[in-house]
Copies of this chain bind each other. A is one copy, B any other.
């Protein structure tokens, strides 16, 4: 069984945002030449996940993000402070390791970003491929949901992110009636 991999790297542009990657998935399927099969889209991060929902409507994205930030608030020691978590993250170096411009301990506390990531997004999404395109409903898109990005400002201005598109080829599906 043939398979194909496209790895996409990009810098995050905001702390929390949702970005449609459906075109990237379909472009990758097209380049692979696969007509039928399935695709696994996976995040390489623990504070950025994959989401399949309606991504084209910007006010809905704001509703989703507002809900996520309100229901799972920040640690009070975070630079985006709201509340105290009882057992905060102690592994301070994590963000710095993701950040090529950082040479000091990161004092940010991102437990909330992890919890939002596992509540509202996924490490991977698996969807069928039909007729050379990912099989989605009229309002469905595939997106990355960034829960702990950077906006180019502050001590750690840049965070590099990676997701992968894995394509697996099958024969054309036989229709069951």
Contacts and interface: CB of A to CB of B under 8 A. Distances in A.
Interface of A: 1-7, 28, 31-32, 36-38, 40, 42-46, 51-54, 57, 59-60, 62-64, 66-67, 71-72, 85-91, 94, 97, 111, 114-115, 117-120, 122-128, 130, 135-140, 162, 164-176
A177 B126 CA distance: 21
Given A40-B38, A123-B52, A174-B3, A85 B63 contact: yes
Please provide the 6 A-B residue pairs with the shortest distance between their CB atoms, ordered closest to farther.
A44-B137, A52-B123, A62-B87, A5-B173, A63-B111, A6-B176
Interface SS of chain A = mixed
Given A63-B115, A120-B119, A46 B168 contact: no
B60 A114 contact: yes
Contacts of A167: 176
A138 B97 contact: yes
A118 B115 contact: no
A57 B91 contact: yes
A137 B162 contact: yes
